[in-house]
Chain A
Amino acid sequence: MSSATRANSAADAAQTKDGHGHDSVEGEPHGSVRGYVTGFVLSAILTAIPFWLVMGDVIGNARITGFVVMAFAMVQVVVHMIYFLHMDTRSEGGWTVLALIFTATLVVITLVGSLWVMHHLNANMMPMSAEDMKQHMP
C-alpha cells in the first residue's frame, strides 16, 4: 500500500466518521447533548459552591476561602475548555493546544510578574495608612 493510498483511506475514514456530507466544515468540533449537559451541571456546581462559601462565610478564614474559591475557578475553566470549547490535543493537529499553552504561559508571567514587582515597589514606598505606619515605625 503506497503512502498516498493510506493517507486517502485515512481521510475517507475520517469523513465517514463525520457522518454528514461535504457541506459540513471540516475540523468542526463535535459536541453531544450529553457533553453539554455534563459541562453545564459541573459548571453550575462549581459556581454555586464558591458563591455559597463566600456569601455564607462558611470557612471563616478569608485567606483559605480565597484559595478554595480560586481552585474552584481553575477547575471550572478546565471544564469549560473540555465540554464547551471541545479542546483536545488532536484538534487542528495540536495547534490549538499549543497556542493555549503559549497563552497560558504569557498570562502567568503577566499576572505573577505584575504582582511580584508591584508588591516590592509597594513595600519600599512610604506607608500609606495608619495601620501600615504602626507596622513600619520602630
Chain B
Amino acid sequence: MATQADTATSGEEEALRFYETEDHPHAPATLIGFWLYLMSDCLIFAVLFATHAVVGRNYAAGPSPADLFDLKLVALNTAMLLFSSITYGFAMLEMQKDRRAATLLWLGLTGLFGIVFVCLEIYEFAHLIHEGATPQRSAFLSSFFVLVGTHGLHVSLGIVWLAVLMIQVGVRGLEVDNKRRLMCLSMFWHFLDVIWIGVFTFVYLMGTLK
C-alpha cells in the first residue's frame, strides 16, 4: 500500500512541478558551488595570514611596519572598498527590480571605487619598493607583499569580471544567466571586503602597534 501511495505522489509531484523544468533549475546549485569556491579561497588567505602571523615580526634589521605604513592611505583604501561594497549592493537591488540602466550605473561606480583601490595599492607598493622595502628585504616584507598582493590580485580580477558582466548586461540585458553571474560576483566582491577587514586589522593596524 505504502509503495503504491509513494509512486502515486511522486508521479503527481512530477506532473505539477512544471515551473522547475523551465529556465535554469541549476541556478541554486551554481550559487552554493560558488560559495564553496569562496570558502576554499578563504583557506588560501588563511594560510597567507598564518604565514604573516608567524614571520610578520621578523624584520631582519630592516624597516618595521611602523616605519613603512601610512595608516591614512590604508584608511582611504578601506573606505574605497567599503563604498564599493554598498554600491554593489545597490546594483543588486536595482537588478532585482529589472532596471538595467540603474544597475549598470551602480556597477560602474563599484568598478570605479575598485580601480581607485587597486591604484592606491599599486602606489603604496611602488612607494615601498622605491624606499628599498622590497619583498626580498625581510621575511616580514615577503609575507606582506604576498598576502596584500594576493588580495589586490583578487580585486583586480574582480574588476575585469565586473567589466565583462557590464558588457554582457549592456548587450543582452538582465536575463537569468546574467543575474546569476551578477549574484556570484556579488558574493565574490563582498567576500573580498571581508578579507580586507582581516588585512587592515592584522597587517596594518596590529603591525603598526609596538
Contact = CB atoms under 8 A, between A and B. Distances in A.
Contact of B210 (A51, A62, A80, A106): A62
B197 interface: yes
A117 to B, nearest CB: 9
Contacts, number: 157
Contact of B96 (A5, A20, A37, A39): A20
Interface in B169-186: 175-176, 179-180, 183
B135 interface: no
Q: Majority SS of interface residues in chain B?
A: helix
Nearest to A5: B12
A110 B43 contact: yes
A100 B198 CA distance: 16
Contacts of A92: 28, 31-32, 35
A22 interface: yes
Q: Size class of A's contact patch?
A: 35 or more
A21 to B, nearest CB: 9
Given A33-B90, A50-B205, 19 more contacts: A4-B10, A8-B17, A23-B23, A23-B176, A24-B176, A37-B86, A43-B82, A44-B82, A47-B79, A47-B197, A54-B205, A70-B202, A80-B190, A85-B191, A103-B39, A106-B46, A107-B43, A110-B47, A110-B50
Interface of B: 9-10, 12-13, 16-17, 19, 22-24, 27-28, 31-32, 35-36, 39, 42-43, 46-47, 49-51, 53-54, 71-72, 74-75, 78-79, 82, 85-86, 89-90, 92-93, 96, 98, 175-176, 179-180, 183, 187, 190-191, 193-194, 197-198, 200-202, 205-206, 208-210
Interface of A: 2-5, 7-8, 11, 15, 20, 22-33, 36-37, 39-40, 43-44, 47, 50-51, 54-55, 62, 65-66, 69-70, 72-73, 76-77, 80-81, 84-85, 92, 95-96, 99-100, 102-103, 106-107, 110-111, 113-115, 118
30 contacts: A8-B17, A20-B96, A20-B98, A23-B175, A23-B179, A25-B180, A25-B183, A30-B96, A33-B90, A33-B93, A47-B78, A51-B71, A54-B71, A62-B210, A69-B201, A69-B206, A70-B206, A72-B201, A73-B202, A76-B197, A77-B197, A77-B198, A84-B89, A85-B190, A96-B32, A110-B47, A111-B46, A114-B50, A115-B54, A118-B54
